[in-house]
């Protein structure tokens, strides 16, 4: 147990779209501390949604709603065996998992098909908002695993 309690630092809302989710997406996308590069990518994607007469923050929230899991499994040791116990996902963890899965799915897309990462992220967000794509299948796998291990739900902490 820690000796001192700590205060969780909340990142500031995005200055352009006034959205907490956009700030988190920028931070999860950032590699090597290059925040301006990740901001340029995210803002470019959101501007592209604007050009298509779609509300960019609503598209992002819809994509997160389709990707973020409701349940996940956590291993619990009892005796000599490990059981995968399904637990509900907290709101902060839903946001983390959803954004991470979207970014990972965009990074996994082939370079032959798309020239820039901005195109990859745009297509992944568009697919996730339409309840398709690699990030949505990742959610389905997580939910399916939790459903299969529903018998161990009485082993919660």
pLDDT tens digit sequence for 116-139: 999 999 999 999 999 999 999 999
Alpha carbons 108 and 40: distance in angstroms, whole number: 20
pLDDT at 157 over 70: no
pLDDT at 1 over 70: no
- What is the pLDDT averaged over residues 142-149? 90
Q: Residue 87: helix, strand or coil by DSSP? A: strand
Q: Check: CB of residue 125 under 8 Å from CB of residue 45.
A: yes
Domains defined for the chain, CATH in brackets: 20-66+93-144 (1.10.455.10)
Q: What is the pLDDT of residues 48-64, one digit of tens each?
A: 999 999 999 999 999 99
Cα dist from 26 to 52, 71, 95, 104, 135, whole Å: 22, 25, 13, 13, 17
- φ/ψ of 156, rounded to 5, equals -60, 160
* pTM for the full predicted model: 0.88
Residue 73: beta bridge partners?
Answer: 86
Q: What is the pLDDT of residues 65-102, one digit of tens each?
A: 999 999 999 998 888 888 888 899 999 999 999 999 99
- φ/ψ of 27, rounded to 5, equals -70, -35
The two tokens of residue 118 are: 């901005």
């Amino acid at each position: 147990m820690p000796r001192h309690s700590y205060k969780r630092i909340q990142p500031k809302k995005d200055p352009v779209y006034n959205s907490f989710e956009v700030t988190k997406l920028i931070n999860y996308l950032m590699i090597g501390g290059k925040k301006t590069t990740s901001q340029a990518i995210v803002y470019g994607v959101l501007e592209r949604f604007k050009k298509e007469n779609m509300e960019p923050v609503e598209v992002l929230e819809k994509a997160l709603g389709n990707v973020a899991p409701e349940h996940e499994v956590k291993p619990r040791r009892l005796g000599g065996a490990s059981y995968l116990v399904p637990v509900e996902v907290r709101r902060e963890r839903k946001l983390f998992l959803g954004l991470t899965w979207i970014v990972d799915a965009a990074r996994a897309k082939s370079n032959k098909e798309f020239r820039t990462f901005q195109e990859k992220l745009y297509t992944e967000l568009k697919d996730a908002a339409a309840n398709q794509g690699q990030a949505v299948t990742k959610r389905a796998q997580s939910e399916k695993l939790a459903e299969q291990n529903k018998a161990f739900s009485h082993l919660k902490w």
